[in-house]
Amino acid sequence: MATEQPRAFQSVWTRPRAGREQPALSREQIVAEALRLLDEEGIDALSMRKLGGRLGAGATSLYRHVANKDELIELAVDEIYGEIEVSASPDPANWRTDMTRCAHSLRATILRHPWLASVLGELGMSYLGTNWMRVSEAMLNLLTTARFPAAEADRALSTLVAYVTGMATSEAAWLNVLARSGQDEQTAVERLWPAAEEAAQDHPLLRESYSDQRGTDPRAAREEGFQYGLDRVLDGLETRLK
């Protein structure tokens, strides 16, 4: 801090305090603040400078704790995976409801942090993150105790995960669009309507499907659509049981 600006009246009050006034700067702190920034303003707003600023630090200070921006994001993502709940009920016969709850938890987590959608495709799944491994192991356990053929449990798992992430990703992308436009979901749908109708002009089935959904609560429709697909996937998996 010894560098001198043309600052006029340097005094005890303007001069930075000696010593580390904050508990310094830690990887956990950085990731936590990054998450706050991401949740508030989305993926585009995350820059090393802004993040450093929020922590009362310079941009390049962060590099002492994190190799680069990509690694920071990887850490943030796995931190989020920590929010996913996988609870196994005592009776393995309840595997369907367990899996259902788990799938909803995964979806809800993604929708709570829609910026995830933008990075999942560049990251795969950061398969080796500790929190994700915890989730996979728990779900794998759920499936095997439900007497899923041992060699199949992992494939069943990735089937379900693919469905949930695929669905939630496209929902999250839509939420991102909403957030950027600042509109309410209901009114955004209404505004998109004419464009959609025109685009679907030569496609009778699509047009009918659209007009059937007109007026329904879009959020509820998303939820119901998710549940429908989830039920189908679980139906499909169930055929392999026993």
The CA-atom distances, in angstroms, between 28 and each of 1, 97, 120, 122 are 26, 34, 21, 23
Half-sphere exposure for 214 (CA within 13 Å, toward CB)? 14
The CA-atom distances, in angstroms, between 235 and each of 138, 205, 215 are 21, 26, 30
Q: What residue 174 binds from DNA, a copy of itself, none (CB within 5 to 8 A, per partner kind)?
A: a copy of itself
Nearer to DNA, 12 or 18 (CB): 18
- Among 134, 185, 218, 241, contact with a copy of itself (rule: CB under 8 A): 134
217 binds a copy of itself (CB under 8 A): no
- Among 74, 109, 118, 148, contact with a copy of itself (rule: CB under 8 A): 118
- What 127-131 contacts at long range (C-beta under 8 Å, 24+ apart), as own/partner pairs, is 129/74, 129/77, 129/78, 129/81, 130/78, 131/78, 131/79, 131/81, 131/82, 131/84
Nearer to DNA, 38 or 157 (CB): 38
What residues make contact with DNA under the rule CB under 7 A? Answer: 1-4, 18-20, 24-25, 46-50, 52, 56-61, 63-65, 68-70
What residues make contact with a copy of itself under the rule CB under 8 A? Answer: 116-125, 127-128, 130, 133-134, 136-137, 140-141, 144, 151-156, 158-159, 161-167, 169-170, 172-174, 176-177, 195-196, 199-200, 203-206, 209, 212, 225, 228-229, 231-237, 239-240
